[in-house]
Chain A
């Protein structure tokens, strides 16, 4: 192993270790006796089981929806008018959980359907939650799969046309293998976010044990509040014990899920069965029309709830309140994106074979990276308090710095894996070539990464900004110093200080951010057709 490889590995490992260090107070305080007591807790086990099942099913539905719809949109060229405007599909993810819940309440809150769901059984509520997640995550997944499929090389496409491939053949031999890595990444992301779903279901349906509608985060939060009345140490201890079981379940769950997806795709693509079907190219024109119709429809679905909500908004809010957190989020996103890129480059160059794709060898690496995401939010909150007790709230500069570092580390699993996924496109041969010709570090980074992934890095920044802006734990911890969008919004739509006029102001900012992100991303696509098109 040469020195530069060791150097890259040290950077990547250092960042992962630093990230996991956040959890040090958690790991240190786990009590095995407390964990064994949970075996007899029926309400806990029932809620955990329901949450796991929901996360499993939802993440598969989300990824399947994304892939399926991307296939429908396949005939829309990236740089056509509709193709460029499909950027609007990233809009819902930028809005974030609490805004989407509030929009849903404003748009459907008074409807008979909502009333039926609210008073109905928990299954219907979870189905509705899946629909909301299809809006929030599903549309993004459609866009990411569609972009991925657009990158299929011209040679492969021509080969398929020349050999009159049926749709089934193309699906099995081209589309699925080409998008396997993205399938795994998006399923994992879908699993994490649905497993720890909290605010949408809590706000819309006021989840409770009485209606059997709680998910595990609701359960953990409720019990933590109950135990706080004894004292915080008691509450922390019980929360850590319970969270250990939840974390282990989530880790096992995500490993099983990834293995299932991996083997299903592997087996499907390995099948030698080719039914006699007509080539789809005969119907090219009608397929393209259908694709455009669905593309316009999906775009309309992404934007319609915003338009309906805008008609209901009355603005009574001082926007300057959010100026400072917007600036701080920008700084934190810059830092987080830069760290994720460094991590992505270091990992790719440090493990050129292992991290060339999602596979059995790279699975432990990704699971380790995802551990922080799989930790229950209540643990992150408590450990945040404990770290701050150690570090101290000595000055605002210290608080701001810790807030930024915290976001850099908390976003590393998602942003880092997104970068790593994109870096799969830097082939092993290319890395070998760079090493043989002894290119400098600067040249390597520039030629193989920066010059190639400009657009992806910008998308990373946009997603990162949305994550940090809508993050609920760290922002909540520091909300007395850096006003938090989520905490502020929550305070204005629930509780004694609820004030919808002010909440509309928050929502308006959320809309403006989402729309600005779409516009920026769209302008990048417009300016960089060659760059996006050449990657296969």
Chain B
């Protein structure tokens, strides 16, 4: 018995020793949410390691974990992560707290890199996810500087079930009922009409599957409708702008109209609403009994790809109803505590080259560079044409200041109450506005 225990202890100690004696070669540690964005980077890991002789160590985490870990790493100055992939709402905090390098600091002294890719980056997207106040303590001046390059350009898309839309019987019924052909909706009126039409309980069909869950799902989706009504939550032109005194527009007539419209979709909705997040919505859509959904562009890959390279051809994509799309996504942030700043920056510039971007699109990335979308290989990805159109027309819609999460939570709270008839629409929006006005002020320190 003793001998066995001794052997076991020896094996364990040897293992611990061997694993701790890692090579001392240059290694870049990259943290981000486990998503198609980081997965597309991982797909090219071997290629880059061979090319550069630099080891890449990816740390995909859940959103919350990636968010907590990167923030704690920055604050504690532990320098664990060289590159942090974070969304636009983290930008303000990272810059104000001086956690990350600005682009000009990274470029300084570098004369070898070809920066031609910069003109290919969607300018609207870059300005929203990679710029910030030149002087963060003076938010009255709108002068901004580039902080970082975007890693992904996300937006919301309309996904529809082609099998249902191309069904001759359904087409005929629609024509008979509404006097117009069944087409993919481009405006709010048609969207609701199509949702109503496909709500056929006798066949187990629903018109739409909305995301009513907490965690940002309801907030983002509702903001997409608010944008279609030309409304805004706060009075500003970029998500990262604003200060403690920025006006809250949420409860104006556009907000009320958007909330009324959103609630009017309730009879056509599939799923449990308050428990439906992006994953749940995807599961419901995959069952093939729902005509439409509004989904995040970086969820589209998971919807159509079965994980073994097989594409589900039932689904097709279009821009969201209305004339605008929203901008989301995030940037590559280089940690000021990184010991491999130069290598990290080189790696990022490699990722933004057109050839690399085309390869990454084929692995599910919503690329931030325009020209990559036009490559024939990229065009084969079913949602790419709709994604590019959406990104070209995309505008600021989502909050990205230090109050972003507060606003997300408050709007979710009151929209859920409105949906469940616990509060009236105007009353609910006014209460949300009052709470946001009160609670956002302490967050601007």
Is B275 interfacial (CB-CB < 8 Å)? yes
State whether B413 touches A381 (Cβ < 8 A): no
A496 in contact with B307 given A381-B68, A479-B65 (CB within 8 Å): no
List the B side residues contacting A204 at CB < 8 Å: 275
List the A side residues contacting B420 at CB < 8 Å: 119, 210-211
State whether A206 touches B405 (Cβ < 8 A): no
State whether B78 touches A232 (Cβ < 8 A): no
List the B side residues contacting A476 at CB < 8 Å: 65
Instruction: Enumerate A472-493 residues with CB–CB distance to B below 8 Å.
Output: 476, 479-480, 487, 490-491, 493
State whether A397 touches B16 (Cβ < 8 A): yes
State whether A490 touches B445 (Cβ < 8 A): no
Segment touching A, from B31-39, B130-138, B163-171, B191-199: B31-39
Query: CA A503 – CA B19 in complex, angstroms?
Result: 27
What's the minimum C-beta distance from A312 to chain B, rounded to whole angstroms?
13
State whether A400 touches B16 (Cβ < 8 A): yes
List the A side residues contacting B336 at CB < 8 Å: none
Is A118 interfacial (CB-CB < 8 Å)? yes
Query: CA A495 – CA B213 in complex, angstroms?
Result: 12
State whether B405 touches A495 (Cβ < 8 A): no
List the B side residues contacting A499 at CB < 8 Å: 302, 307
State whether B78 touches A389 (Cβ < 8 A): yes
List the A side residues contacting B15 at CB < 8 Å: 327
List the A side residues contacting B39 at CB < 8 Å: 497
Segment touching B, from A223-231, A269-277, A365-373, A506-514: A223-231
Query: CA A389 – CA B274 in complex, angstroms?
Result: 39
Across the interface, B72 reaches (CB within 8 A) one of A208, A385, A491, A501, namely A385
State whether B445 touches A206 (Cβ < 8 A): no
Query: CA A229 – CA B440 in complex, angstroms?
Result: 12
Query: CA A227 – CA B89 in complex, angstroms?
Result: 12
What range describes how many residues of A lie at the interface?
A: 35 or more
State whether A210 touches B214 (Cβ < 8 A): yes
State whether B414 touches A210 (Cβ < 8 A): yes
State whether A118 touches B64 (Cβ < 8 A): no
State whether B416 touches A496 (Cβ < 8 A): no
List the B side residues contacting A115 at CB < 8 Å: 272
The dominant DSSP class at the B interface is helix
Query: CA A211 – CA B214 in complex, angstroms?
Result: 10
A229 in contact with B76 given A210-B417, A490-B62, A496-B278 (CB within 8 Å): no
State whether A225 touches B67 (Cβ < 8 A): yes
By CB atoms of chain B within 10 A, which of A229, A382, A385, A393 has the most? A229
State whether B76 touches A501 (Cβ < 8 A): no
List the A side residues contacting B307 at CB < 8 Å: 316, 499, 501
Query: CA A227 – CA B444 in complex, angstroms?
Result: 11
Instruction: Enumerate B7-65 residues with CB–CB distance to A below 8 Å.
Output: 12, 15-17, 19-20, 22, 31, 33-36, 39, 59-65
Residue of B at shortest CB range from A484? B65
Interface flags for A50-86 (1: CB within 8 Å of B; 0: not) read 0000000000000000000000000000000000000
What's the minimum C-beta distance from A323 to chain B, rounded to whole angstroms?
11
Across the interface, A226 reaches (CB within 8 A) one of B65, B92, B406, namely B406
Across the interface, B412 reaches (CB within 8 A) one of A208, A235, A386, A498, namely A208
What's the minimum C-beta distance from A122 to chain B, rounded to whole angstroms?
11
Give the A-B contact count at a CB cut-off of 8 A. Answer: 162
What range describes how many residues of B lie at the interface?
A: 35 or more
State whether B93 touches A479 (Cβ < 8 A): no
Query: CA A307 – CA B352 in complex, angstroms?
Result: 48
Is B97 interfacial (CB-CB < 8 Å)? yes
Across the interface, A496 reaches (CB within 8 A) one of B36, B405, B417, namely B36
The dominant DSSP class at the A interface is helix
State whether A491 touches B62 (Cβ < 8 A): yes
Is B77 interfacial (CB-CB < 8 Å)? yes
Residue of A at shortest CB range from B401? A229
State whether B93 touches A231 (Cβ < 8 A): yes
List the B side residues contacting A382 at CB < 8 Å: 72
List the A side residues contacting B97 at CB < 8 Å: 231
State whether A119 touches B272 (Cβ < 8 A): yes
State whether A229 touches B20 (Cβ < 8 A): no
State whether A497 touches B60 (Cβ < 8 A): yes
Instruction: Enumerate A221-250 residues with CB–CB distance to B below 8 Å.
Output: 221-222, 225-235
Residue of B at shortest CB range from A378? B68
List the A side residues contacting B375 at CB < 8 Å: none
State whether B409 touches A209 (Cβ < 8 A): yes
State whether A491 touches B60 (Cβ < 8 A): yes
Is B69 interfacial (CB-CB < 8 Å)? yes
State whether B75 touches A232 (Cβ < 8 A): yes
Query: CA A331 – CA B5 in complex, angstroms?
Result: 12
Query: CA A234 – CA B68 in complex, angstroms?
Result: 13
Is B377 interfacial (CB-CB < 8 Å)? no
List the A side residues contacting B409 at CB < 8 Å: 209, 222, 226
Is A435 interfacial (CB-CB < 8 Å)? no
List the A side residues contacting B276 at CB < 8 Å: 206
State whether B34 touches A208 (Cβ < 8 A): no
State whether A234 touches B445 (Cβ < 8 A): yes
Query: CA A155 – CA B405 in complex, angstroms?
Result: 66
Query: CA A396 – CA B19 in complex, angstroms?
Result: 7
What's the minimum C-beta distance from A444 to chain B, rounded to whole angstroms?
22
A233 in contact with B19 given A226-B406, A499-B307 (CB within 8 Å): no
List the B side residues contacting A114 at CB < 8 Å: 272
State whether B16 touches A389 (Cβ < 8 A): no
By CB atoms of chain A within 10 A, which of B61, B69, B412 has the most? B61
Residue of B at shortest CB range from A382? B72
List the B side residues contacting A381 at CB < 8 Å: 68
Is A292 interfacial (CB-CB < 8 Å)? no
State whether A495 touches B63 (Cβ < 8 A): yes
List the B side residues contacting A480 at CB < 8 Å: 31, 59, 61, 69, 80
Residue of B at shortest CB range from A496? B35
Q: List 10 A-B contacts (CB under 8 A).
A: A206-B215, A210-B413, A225-B64, A229-B89, A229-B405, A389-B76, A397-B20, A491-B34, A495-B33, A495-B278
Given contacts A211-B274, A495-B62, A496-B63, 19 further A-B contacts (CB under 8 A): A206-B213, A209-B413, A210-B214, A210-B420, A225-B64, A228-B67, A228-B93, A229-B92, A229-B402, A230-B93, A230-B443, A232-B76, A385-B72, A396-B20, A490-B62, A493-B279, A496-B278, A497-B62, A498-B302
Q: Using a CB–CB distance below 8 Å, which chain B residues touch chain A?
A: 12, 15-17, 19-20, 22, 31, 33-36, 39, 59-65, 67-69, 71-72, 74-78, 80, 89-90, 92-93, 96-97, 213-215, 272-279, 282, 296, 298-299, 302, 307, 401-406, 409, 412-417, 420, 443, 445
The 7 closest A-B CB pairs, nearest first, are A210-B416, A497-B34, A496-B35, A389-B76, A208-B214, A232-B75, A397-B20
